[in-house]
Structure 1
Amino acid sequence: MTRIPASAVALAALAISWSVSAVRADPGFEARLTLSQGLKSIEKSGGTIEPGDEGFRSTTALDFGLTSVTSYQRFGIGVGADLDYIPDAADTFSTSREVANLGYEIQSRQSQFNIDLGYRSVDIEDSVFLDELTGEDVIADDGRREIVSISSALLMGREAPLSFSLRQQQSESRYTDTTDPDLRDSTSRSVAAELGLRVSPLVTLKADASWSDYDQDGPDGNWRTTRRAGLGASYQLSPITALSAGINYSTNRTDDQDDSDGLGYSLGLRQARPNGTVDLSLSSFETVNGTRSEFSLGRSLDFSWGVASLAVGASKTGGFEAQPTINGRIDYTLDKLSSFNLALSQAAVTGSENEETIRTQLSVGYSREMTPRSRLTGKLQLSDRDVLGSTSEDQSVLRADLAYAHEIGQDWNLVSGYEYSRTDREILEDRKSSTLFLKLEKTFAYRP
């Protein structure tokens, strides 16, 4: 945790980094300021627990954003930070969160361009967090993490016979104030381009190419570079049935020279039904761990109360055994006051250490409007990592959140809740964390 003397609190407040809300908003200009003051009671077990990681603390949060929306462009920018006060012997102040995003989008009937920049700095002492660069849950004992990201996309010919798209993304993750050798600075970059040609109302051709790179710093860091190029076509067999096919060539380069390259393919069949679709897909492509072949059969359903989808299949990579895969989702509106959603997925992925991994994720959410002025929300998340050929890196993370919000005045809300997390890993002590919180928040909005 970054410690700040009490005398420097004013400077810390002035040094709040930028944060932005999503640029999606109603037409016009809007400025929004949200202030909150809260109390937390934290209990932890397992791992390295330092003084100040547990007990009571006070958190002051500030988020400010500007959005401007017209018929053809959107712009947004903002700032945000959390300032914690820990009533220990030193009366410690610390900034546990600093975030920033900037977004701009301009579009016409045939083209669109958007760019997003982001910055986030958060305390990671004795915590488990999701690494967006790899999609993995990371266990940390101490330190602070900074992420800087930029992404952009250009689309041309959206409604024309000839279309082109170009997408770019780069993210950098940096750690400070930590002695953990497993927390390595890393960079993720990718570029993808696609050219499409609609030959007739029934036939569309495409050519695509992509490049991605993941690089960890340090003598023990890993890096992986993937290049892929492909050709594909889609054909409307009937008013309700579409067929797609493609071939690709991939090359993979790694730090341990475990390189691979080869041809791949993809086949897809979709049939529309009165209340949804049926999908069948087959694919094969090269990874650093060998050729990965996948099969999937899915069904989506549209109901008056919501939507549901389920796809089941199998995946096999190189010399590893075949593994089952699943991708399902339910969005259910129980009544006018409540909703329920569930998402479940299991897929084969390449981990940050270039290991073959089966990643399973479950998310369950519930929301109910108790009264016209109050709402109850709950969420449960489970993430499991199974490293094939090894058990030392297997890991599961459980998170649960419950919150109750009550409007006590115009733009004033009183929010209370409970947060719980548990981490189980084969070679490490299990960790648990529970937090009770109560906060009062006020939102000021201005629209000329």
Structure 2
Amino acid sequence: MRRGTATTTAAAGLAGLLALLPLGAQSQETDPSAPEARLTIGQQIAVEDGDLIGITPLDLNLRTGSRVQTIQFSLSAPFRLHDPDEDKSFALGDPQARLLLRRGARNSAIEAELGYRENDLDEEILFDDLSNEFVTLDGGRVAQTDARLTYVFGREAKLGGEFGLSWIRRDYSGTTDPDLDDSETRSGNVAFYLEPTPLVRARILAEASRTDGEVNDSRSDRYGVGASLQVDKLTNLDVELARTHIRREEGDGTVEQAEGPSLRLGLTRSRPLGDWSLSFGSDPGTAGRRENFNIGRTLELRRFTLTGQVGVTRFQDNYDPIFQIAYNQKLTEMSQVQASLRRAAVTDNDGDEALNTDITANYSRQISAVSSIAANIRYRESEVQSGDREDARSVSFGLDYSRALPNDFSLVAGANVIRSKDSDGTHDDEERVYLGVNRSFSFLR
């Protein structure tokens, strides 16, 4: 099976990139609004599960724009040599690309995004955008293509709104899990905002989603009203009441439907060191109604930031604790630590319910003006509450080192380990050690 590659500095800007893959040296912070064109190419040697593989990372970052317009493009195309899991001696690894166009004025903005990524399923743990997915242990691969278009107007007016369209295509190959169904999801949303008084901003909303799979199809519609109210100078209340309809059809012709009201409440109160928050949500589902209740607190101090939420979720008359904690501290001028813990209820496109637990910790240190080191760990677990999926868990650890060399060269080295297991005893272990040299070329500067 093809493993993820050692990435370089330019790959760090790609949305959805593997969070634990090695990064190249970054000598200084760059201005995110400045034009940039950067190409990075290198040669690396990796030992993956006992096999010696050559890797040639190729990464490209482009960014240009003005005060009202931004264009960004990122591409990662790593090539692999003598990979035993490939039919050819020279093959493309896990390609990823993303294009973002944004144009905005004071009162309106339009944004379009197009992306593609391909990777092994057992490395899904490394992606940050999978909070609503189950942990999957399977030996196949997945390719995802997505597109999004959003238009917002009247952001500072008494009458405004937003329109959104999105499309996602997921294609699986080499898999054995019947729940991994090739699918195409199309969704859209519209909302209109009215501000009858300076303290009240009301809204009318409608959402629709359609997922067509090779086996299962899913449909959902949601429409309703809501309002944000400023109770006093420190307190804000947000209320939303909607009607939701869900319909799912399985491959054997079985149809599951659910319809009912959706209620969401949010209360925030500002304090000198951070906000207090309270939230409640109740939504219907084909496997039962889900209700979530949370109390949160944010602390913003001079040396660190701490955000926490604790609550309970109710599903099929069962109550389970849910929580979310995020910690960020700059230890010294040369080092930083980040950690997060999250447990939340999720529902996949087939209507299966689970409790997902996600733990991450990252430490980085600038050893000198030209070298840095980073360590990270991530744990993900899915406890299935409805459906025929297996409980599964994965943990990964990464240690990466980079050193800047003359003439825009950089030395990169590190190791990554992944350990996975599901409730029927299936194991999936991956190990990789790599060493290489990268070269970067910068333009437009």
Equivalent in the alignment of 1:261: 259
Equivalent in the alignment of 1:8: none
1:229 counterpart = 2:235: no
In 2, the alpha carbon distance for the partners of 1:78 and 1:269 equals 39
Match of 1:81 among 52, 77, 81: 77
Match of 1:335 among 322, 332, 336: 332
Q: Residues 164-313 of structure 1 correspond to what in structure 2 (within 5 A)?
A: 164-176=161-173, 181-217=178-214, 221-255=215-249, 256-313=254-311
In 1, the alpha carbon distance for the partners of 2:211 and 2:48 equals 35
Deviation at 1:112, TM superposition (A): 0.5
Where do 5+ consecutive residues of structure 2 fail to align? 3-11, 16-29
Equivalent residue letter for 1:119: Y
Equivalent in the alignment of 2:5: none
1:94-146 per-residue CA deviation (whole Å, 9 max, x = no partner) reads 21122222221111111100101112334x38x4425867523333324x432
What is the SS of the residue equivalent to 1:371?
coil
Deviation at 1:267, TM superposition (A): 2.0
1:373 counterpart = 2:370: yes
Distance 1:238 1:87, change over 3 A: closer
1:220-267 per-residue CA deviation (whole Å, 9 max, x = no partner) reads x22322111121122212111112222111001011322010112222
Aligned residues: 415
In 1, the alpha carbon distance for the partners of 2:444 and 2:69 equals 18
Equivalent residue letter for 1:269: L
Q: Residues 358-437 of structure 1 correspond to what in structure 2 (within 5 A)?
A: 358-388=355-385, 393-437=390-434
1:135 counterpart = 2:133: yes
Q: Residues 343-354 of structure 1 correspond to what in structure 2 (within 5 A)?
A: 343-354=340-351
Equivalent in the alignment of 1:5: none
Equivalent in the alignment of 2:6: none
Equivalent residue letter for 1:242: N
Deviation at 1:368, TM superposition (A): 0.9
In 1, the alpha carbon distance for the partners of 2:185 and 2:318 equals 29
Equivalent in the alignment of 1:163: 160
In 1, the alpha carbon distance for the partners of 2:248 and 2:203 equals 29
Deviation at 1:214, TM superposition (A): 2.9
In 2, the alpha carbon distance for the partners of 1:173 and 1:146 equals 6
In 1, the alpha carbon distance for the partners of 2:281 and 2:107 equals 32
- Deviation larger for 83-92 or 194-203: 83-92
Equivalent in the alignment of 1:7: none
What is the SS of the residue equivalent to 1:129?
helix
Match of 2:56 among 57, 60, 64: 60
Equivalent residue letter for 1:343: S
Q: Which one has a larger percent strand, Structure 1 or Structure 2? A: 1
1:100 counterpart = 2:100: no
In 2, the alpha carbon distance for the partners of 1:212 and 1:194 equals 15
Give me the TM-score of the superposition, normalised by structure 1.
Answer: 0.86
What is the SS of the residue equivalent to 1:388?
strand
In 1, the alpha carbon distance for the partners of 2:216 and 2:424 equals 21
1:33 counterpart = 2:57: no
- Deviation larger for 414-423 or 381-390: 381-390
Contact 1:20–1:76 under 8 Å retained in 2: no
In 2, the alpha carbon distance for the partners of 1:248 and 1:284 equals 10
Give me the TM-score of the superposition, normalised by structure 2.
Answer: 0.86
In 1, the alpha carbon distance for the partners of 2:389 and 2:240 equals 38
Equivalent residue letter for 1:139: L
Equivalent in the alignment of 2:112: 115
What is the SS of the residue equivalent to 2:197?
coil
Contact 1:21–1:76 under 8 Å retained in 2: no
1:39-92 per-residue CA deviation (whole Å, 9 max, x = no partner) reads 11112xxxxxxxxxx411000011223322111101133543111111779982
Distance 1:128 1:21, change over 3 A: closer
In 2, the alpha carbon distance for the partners of 1:103 and 1:381 equals 28
What is the SS of the residue equivalent to 1:330?
strand
Distance 1:270 1:69, change over 3 A: same
What is the SS of the residue equivalent to 2:307?
strand
Deviation at 1:176, TM superposition (A): 3.9
Deviation at 1:407, TM superposition (A): 1.1
What is the SS of the residue equivalent to 2:157?
coil
What is the SS of the residue equivalent to 1:137?
coil
Deviation at 1:403, TM superposition (A): 0.4
Deviation at 1:178, TM superposition (A): 5.6
In 2, the alpha carbon distance for the partners of 1:138 and 1:326 equals 23
In 2, the alpha carbon distance for the partners of 1:91 and 1:290 equals 49
In 2, the alpha carbon distance for the partners of 1:90 and 1:193 equals 47
Equivalent residue letter for 2:427: D
Equivalent residue letter for 1:162: L
Deviation at 1:352, TM superposition (A): 4.1
What is the SS of the residue equivalent to 2:426?
strand
Contact 2:139–2:174 under 8 Å retained in 1: no
In 2, the alpha carbon distance for the partners of 1:109 and 1:351 equals 38
Taking only the aligned residue pairs, the percentage that are identical comes to 25
Q: Which fold has the larger relative contact order, with Cα–Cα distance below 8 Å and residues 6 or more apart in sequence? A: 2
Deviation at 1:161, TM superposition (A): 1.5
Contact 2:184–2:211 under 8 Å retained in 1: yes
In 2, the alpha carbon distance for the partners of 1:145 and 1:389 equals 24
What is the SS of the residue equivalent to 2:405?
strand
